[in-house]
Amino acid sequence: MRERAKELKAATGRENDAAANEQAIAKLPDDERELAERIRAIVVAAAPHLDPKTYYGFPAWARDGKVVCFFKPKSKFKVRYSTFEFDTAATLDDGEVWATAFAVHNGMTAADADMLGALVTKAAG
C-alpha cells in the first residue's frame, strides 16, 4: 500500500509515470528484468497508445489513466513464476469466461509473444 500511495502522490505527469515504469523494471533481478523488458516491447508494439506507469510498484500500461495490463515479478511474492496480467479496464470480454493473467518465463517463444501481443491489442481497445 505504501508503494500505491507513492504512485498517487507522484502522478503529476506522464513523464513521472514513464520514469517510474522504467525504474520498476530497472530494479528487478536480472532474469526478471529481461522478461519485463520483453513484456514492455510486446506492449509497446501492440498498443503504442498505452501510457507506461506503475501499479502497486509493478510495471504497468494504462489507457486514460486506468491500468490495462501489468507485469508482476515472481520475486515480489517469492513464487515460482512471474505473471502478465490484465486489469478491469482491459476489454478482453469473451463470452462468460476469459483469462486475465498468464504465467510467463524467460523461455517465452515468438508464438507466445504474438499471442500476448494480440491480447494487448484487444485489451487496449
What is the per-residue pLDDT across 24-41, written as a single tens digit (0 to 9) for each?
999 999 999 999 999 999
Element (H, E) at 122: helix 110-124
How many whole angstroms separate alpha carbon 17 and alpha carbon 55?
Answer: 10
By CB atoms closer than 10 A (0-12, 13-18, 19+), residue 108 is middle
Q: pLDDT: is 1 or 80 the higher one?
A: 80
CATH number of the CATH domain containing 101: 3.90.1150.200
pTM: 0.88
**Is a pLDDT exceeding 80 seen at residue 8?**
no
What is the per-residue pLDDT across 51-63, written as a single tens digit (0 to 9) for each?
999 999 999 999 9
The number of domains in the chain is: 1
Q: Show the domain range for 21.
A: 2-124
Set of cell numbers at residue 24: 520498476
55 φ, ψ (degrees, to nearest 5): -140, 105
Please report the DSSP string for 18-61 in residue order. HHHHHHHHHTS-HHHHHHHHHHHHHHHHH-TTSEEEEETTEEEE
